[in-house]
Structure 1
Amino acid sequence: MNLLRDWLFAATAVFFCAAVQAQRASPSSELRAFSEQRIRHQKTLGFALGGYALANIAAGSIAAGQTSGETKYFHQMNVYWNLFNLGIAGIGLLNSRKANADNETLAQAIRRHETMKQVLLLNAGLDVAYVVGGAYLRERSHSHPDKSDQLQGYGKSIMLQGGFLLAFDLVNYFVFKSRGDKQEIKLISAGPMGVGLVIPIR
Structure 2
Amino acid sequence: MRIMNWRFFITTLALDLPLEEIVDEVRDFDERFGIILQKHVAVLGWWCILNFLAGIPGLALLDGWLWYFLLMNLVWSAINFAIALLMYNHVFYRRFKQGNVFQRFEVQRHVEKILLLNIGLEVGYFFAGLYLLTLGRLPDIAYPELWRGFGWAVLLQAVYMFIHDFSFHLLHVLNFRKCKPFLEEMMETQMEVRRQGA
Alignment pair present for 1:160 and 2:141: no
Change in 2 beyond 3 A, CA 1:39/1:196? farther
Aligned-partner Cα distance in 2 for 1:119–1:40: 18
TM-score under structure 2 length normalisation: 0.77
Provide structure 1 residue ranges, at least 5 long, that are not aligned to the other structure: 1-28, 198-202
1:196 and 1:107 mapped to 2: Cα distance?
17
Q: CA deviation at 1:60?
A: 0.7
Cα deviation, 1:14-60, whole Å, max 9, x if unaligned, reads: xxxxxxxxxxxxxxx53233122212211110011011101101211
Say if 2:67 is the partner of 1:72: yes
Establish whether residue 59 from structure 1 lines up as the match of residue 39 from structure 2.
no
What is the rounded CA distance, in whole Å, between the counterparts of 1:71 and 1:97 in structure 2? 39
1:112-127 pair list within 5 angstroms: 112-127=107-122
C-alpha distance 104-192 of structure 1, shift in aligned 2 (>3 A): farther
| Gap runs ≥5 in structure 2 | 1-23, 193-198
Per the TM alignment, residue 192 of structure 1 is displaced from its structure 2 partner at its CA by 7.7
Query: Aligned residues, how many?
Result: 167
Aligned equivalents of 2:121, 2:168: Cα separation in 1: 15
Equivalent-residue separation in structure 2 for 1:193 and 1:168 (angstroms): 36
Question: Kindly, what percent of the aligned residue pairs are identical?
Answer: 22
Q: Tell me the equivalent position of 2:125.
A: 130
CA separation of 1:31 and 1:149: change in aligned 2, threshold 3 A: same
* Structure 2 partner of 1:180: 176
For the structure 1 residues 100 and 70, does the alpha-carbon distance in structure 2 shift closer, same or farther, using more than 3 Å as the test? Answer: closer
RMSD: 2.0
CA distance in 1, matches of 2:126, 2:80: 16
Q: TM-score by structure 1 length?
A: 0.76
